[in-house]
Structure 1
Amino acid sequence: MTDLVLSESLAAARTRLAEALNATERPADAARLLAVSKTKPAAMIREAWHLGQREFGENYVQEALDKQAELTELDPIVWHFIGPLQSNKTREVAEHFSWVHSVDREKIARRLNDQRPEALGPLNICLQVNISEETSKSGVSLEALPALAEAILAMPALRLRGLMTIPAPAEGREAQRVPFARLREAFEALRERFPEAPLDTLSMGMSADLEAAVQEGATLVRLGTAIFGERNTR
């Protein structure tokens, strides 16, 4: 992808988000764009950064660390870990990311808490919810969500910010809205249950269903293909 194409695709993604927010009469700053850069080279992240993008999402720990080492001159830049997280990778994530979207069990959260360097401040956490109850996907169930949230709120090195989901694919806007509405309802219930918690983030919506997610209250939308083009094979 050339500089010109990346500039056009990023501008189109921003316009698409702005139009979705406007259509639902939400403020222009009610949701922001997370550029999902997994499998893409560091050079493309650098291009996007120079075009004003500051938040990037990565799925694979070692790939992300390699890119971070290559992009140390980019400041500020905010790294989000959005992929499945194994116990043997928590230290690297705790030490090199600002956000983790894929926490779905207490064991992982406790390791992140214990391994987070104090100098970096609390690690922002979104709990991944298996909203469509798919056996092939990670995520905490809606039933187990309150207990997990309560446990994390007691961990001083973590800051519970909200929820994330990757719903099953659906055809049509109304069908796409259904799982996002369920996540929003769960989010609102958590805010009522834990009024002192800094819950402000609904990480939902990707290239195929951004508009439906925004309609249901997304505050962070994760776009990869729409910005960087088709995913490269790892």
Structure 2
Amino acid sequence: MTTIANSLQAVRQRIAQAATAAGRPAADIQLLAVSKTFLAAAVRQAYTAGQRAFGESYVQEAVEKVEALNDLPLKWHFIGPIQSNKTRPIAESFAWVHSLDRARIADRLSAGRPSNLPDLQVCLQVNVSGEPSKSGVAPEDLAALARHVLALPRLKLRGLMTIPEPTDDPVDQRRAFARLRQLLEQINAEGFQLDTLSMGMSDDLEAAIAEGATIVRVGSAIFGAREYNKE
């Protein structure tokens, strides 16, 4: 097996073990392979090893990769910050968006989604750690944004996403993820029917799964360390 195939197998084993520890079926947790900054050839290797869902953060790079791999039945997820002038290619090329945090961006994604494609599946990114430099809607503004998105055509509101402040402390990791789970429960109690918690990465996926993650976004543990030199 290739290194990527070996790494994928190891990550899947981590997910299965974490699910068992949490009393959850491993099948309830989707692995999103974060392929940003890696070449299309690496995605092909991961596809050969059984991976189908891939996450990207840089629009120009991602669109080129989507086109280069259009012979494969892949699901593309956009997980990075969204600039207003990049909404149309995101709406045209992706099946999911995890990083929606503003009503204006929601409006533009809705307007840019081609009518011949299925509804764009979206998660609202929440800044659970309150970091001023980090993207994400504030928890107190979440319900209003959710109501706005729910009313838009060609978008399907699925759940919440977060990238908490990095920490090696498992207790602190779980606290941040528990906050997102609680927000999902609160908003569903208001009448929403959200089913997705996108949280957890290479270094903290176990804590995320323990708190209910349904999608974990794993890059470096699959593809190796990445170099940042993008748009």
Q: For the residues of structure 2 that align with 1:102 and 1:175, how far apart are their CA atoms?
A: 22
Aligned partner (choices 137, 141, 146) of residue 138 of structure 2: 141
Q: For the residues of structure 1 that align with 2:33 and 2:90, how far apart are their CA atoms?
A: 18
1:152 match: 149
What do the CA deviations read for 1:83-126 (whole angstroms, capped 9, x no partner)?
00000000000000000011001000000011101110210000
2:61 match: 63
Q: For the residues of structure 2 that align with 1:51 and 1:171, how far apart are their CA atoms?
A: 30
Q: For the residues of structure 2 that align with 1:194 and 1:30, how far apart are their CA atoms?
A: 23
Aligned partner (choices 192, 208, 231) of residue 213 of structure 1: 208
- Name the amino acid aligned to 2:152: M
Aligned partner (choices 81, 97, 101) of residue 98 of structure 2: 101
What do the CA deviations read for 1:36-77 (whole angstroms, capped 9, x no partner)?
0000000000110111100000000000011111111102x1
1:37 match: 35
- Name the amino acid aligned to 2:24: R
Superposed structure 1 runs of 4+ greater than 2 Å apart: none
Unaligned ranges ≥5, structure 1: none
User: Is 2:21 the counterpart of 1:26?
Assistant: no
2:199 match: 204
1:53 match: 51
- Name the amino acid aligned to 1:35: A
Q: For the residues of structure 1 that align with 2:176 and 2:14, how far apart are their CA atoms?
A: 21
- Name the amino acid aligned to 1:231: R
CA shift, 1:215, in A, is 0.5
What TM-score comes out, normalization by structure 2 length?
0.97
Q: For the residues of structure 2 that align with 1:28 and 1:62, how far apart are their CA atoms?
A: 34
Unaligned ranges ≥5, structure 2: none
- Name the amino acid aligned to 1:221: V
CA shift, 1:175, in A, is 1.4
1:175 match: 172
- Name the amino acid aligned to 1:194: G
1:73 match: 71
SS at match of 1:118: coil
- Name the amino acid aligned to 1:157: R
SS at match of 1:95: helix
What TM-score comes out, normalization by structure 1 length?
0.96
Q: For the residues of structure 2 that align with 1:54 and 1:193, how far apart are their CA atoms?
A: 34
- Name the amino acid aligned to 1:179: A
CA shift, 1:194, in A, is 2.1
2:160 match: 163
Q: For the residues of structure 2 that align with 1:227 and 1:171, how far apart are their CA atoms?
A: 20
Q: For the residues of structure 2 that align with 1:193 and 1:122, how far apart are their CA atoms?
A: 23
CA shift, 1:182, in A, is 0.5
SS at match of 1:230: coil
CA shift, 1:171, in A, is 2.5
Q: For the residues of structure 2 that align with 1:194 and 1:156, how far apart are their CA atoms?
A: 19
**Equivalenced residues, count:** 229
Q: What value does the CA root-mean-square deviation take over the aligned residues?
A: 0.9
Aligned partner (choices 121, 126, 129) of residue 132 of structure 1: 129
1:229 match: 224
SS at match of 1:233: coil
Q: For the residues of structure 2 that align with 1:206 and 1:25, how far apart are their CA atoms?
A: 20
- Name the amino acid aligned to 2:13: T
SS at match of 1:38: coil
